Amino acid sequence: MKVFVAFFILLNLCITHKNPSANPALIKPAEIKTGAEQTEKYLPYLKGKRVAILANQTSVIGKTHLVDSLTKVGITIVKVFGPEHGFRGKASAGAVVADDTDPVTGIPVISLYGKKSKPAKEDLADVDILIYDLQDVGCRFYTNINALARLMEACHENGKELLILDRPNPNGYLIDGPILDLKFKSGIGMFPLPISHGLTVGEFAQMANGEGWLANKVKCKLRIIPVANYTHDMPYVLPVSPSPNLNTQQAVMLYPSTCLFEGTYLNHGRGTYFPFTVIGSPELKGKYEFSFTPTSIKGMAETPLFMNQVCYGLDLRTYDVEQLRKKKQVNLQWMMELYKASPHKEKFFDSKLSKEMGVIERLAGNALFRQQIIAGASEKEIRQSWEPGLSEYKVMRKKYLLYP
């Protein structure tokens, strides 16, 4: 009997080692597959339909652009809509983008970041279905979700269905920041979201429908291809830079924290090849050893703040972004530190992005943030002022999640 038991145990061990699925420690996590990569789930649905796509340089299957891939397998793409930075992603931040013809495929490209912000009735007259496939980075002030909402409105108004090919949110682990006070609604914040909303674009679309955020509270007919093998906490390295000034994974991960410096009289790397990862100004000379010099860079920042002047400040290029993942919070210390170090505090929030004052209010989402930094409020006090809105948002968000 003892011999039989020993033999059974040995046999079980052999089976376990030959079959990794029997040993959880040996199981490798399944590879993330974007919605676009799961062609078997949507190609049959597109056959015989006239298709329009809102896409940019991030709309890829492997290393091939989605539009190029679909045309090669016989899908009829009648037009492409281009967001901020354009269809192939070569326009500078905020630059007006004109209509064009794609030189690769010959397909007409209609800009939604120029004379119009959403497709007109005539644009959709020869379209049966629209596709949205843009890589987002999970922040309220990143304009792709605005483009999505307008596209949803146009689909409702013209009786069209919207197919969303979902992609991971590289900052999906992070839900933090004040909820946007709609008094400060603008092109860099249109919805009552925190700074970092913890949603994929598919989840945002469901939320916009469900919460009545579209114009006149309309609802868009949606079909979503979810990301496979994905959870919000998973690290995800973007295969393509989402925009010219978010050109590294480090910049993408720092963006929820460092984009707030758009609303200050500091250069945060525009005019360098490492934007959103360095912050400084000529006025901080003697207070920081690190320096950088912004220059004119075509397609990135052609007239950056403090152009051709040596700026001194923080170098976050090697900052351990795992610290952000562990804390699950936007970093406020950098803003607090640089305000204290600034010799001319009266112009610290005098952003050169706009002739109007109030850029920091539109970025932060409220009128209080500027006052708190000036008054020297503690981080705890600042975070307490975000409640109960932030906690209420987290509860509401759960209704629309596609992923754990």
Q: Is residue 400 part of a domain?
A: no
Do 208 and 153 share a structural domain? yes
Q: Is residue 33 part of a domain?
A: no
- 135 alpha carbon, distance to own chain's centre: 7
In order, the DSSP letters of 152-211 are: HHHHHHTT-EEEEE----TTTT-EESPPPPGGG-BTTB-SS--SEE---HHHHHHHHHHT
The string of pLDDT tens digits covering residues 144-186 is 999 999 999 999 999 999 999 999 999 999 999 999 999 999 9
Do 295 and 189 share a structural domain? no
Which of 225, 258, 273 terminates a domain? The answer is 225
**pTM recorded for the entire structure:** 0.90
Q: Is residue 269 part of a domain?
A: yes
Q: Which conformational region is residue 244 in: left (phi greater than 0), alpha (psi within -120 to 50 degrees), or beta?
A: alpha
Q: Is residue 344 part of a domain?
A: yes
Do 80 and 115 share a structural domain? yes
Element (H, E) at 78: strand 76-82
Do 148 and 272 share a structural domain? no
Do 258 and 179 share a structural domain? no
Task: Look up residue 319 and give its DSSP letter.
Answer: -
Do 318 and 269 share a structural domain? yes
The string of pLDDT tens digits covering residues 100-115 is 888 888 999 999 987 8
Q: Is residue 374 part of a domain?
A: no
Do 221 and 88 share a structural domain? yes
Q: Which domain holds residue 341?
A: 249-366
CATH at 96: 3.40.50.12170
Query: 158, 146, 90: which is closest to 119 by C-alpha?
Result: 158
Separation of alpha carbons 209 and 399, rounded Å: 12
pLDDT band at 85, cuts 50/70/90?
confident
Do 147 and 59 share a structural domain? yes
The string of pLDDT tens digits covering residues 264-310 is 999 999 999 999 999 999 999 999 999 999 999 998 999 999 999 99
pLDDT band at 52, cuts 50/70/90?
very high
Separation of alpha carbons 261 and 249, rounded Å: 19
Separation of alpha carbons 19 and 221, rounded Å: 44
> What is the reported pLDDT for 89?
62
Do 179 and 301 share a structural domain? no
Do 255 and 216 share a structural domain? no
pLDDT band at 91, cuts 50/70/90?
low
Burial 345-383 (b: 16+ CB within 10 A, else e): eeebbebebeeeeebbbbbbbbebbbebbeeebeeeebb
What does the pLDDT average to over 352-362?
68
Would you call the peptide bond into 388 cis, given omega within 30 degrees of 0 as the criterion? yes
Q: Is residue 3 part of a domain?
A: no
What does the pLDDT average to over 7-30?
39
Query: What is the token pair recorded at 130?
Result: 């629209």
Q: Is residue 341 part of a domain?
A: yes
Task: Look up residue 31 and give its DSSP letter.
Answer: P
Query: 268, 385, 324: which is closest to 138 by C-alpha?
Result: 324
Q: Is residue 238 part of a domain?
A: no
Contacts of 319 (CB under 8 A, 6+ apart): 250, 254, 277
* Phi, psi of 274, deg, nearest 5: -135, 55
Do 282 and 206 share a structural domain? no
Do 262 and 149 share a structural domain? no
Question: Per the structure, how many domains does the chain have?
Answer: 2
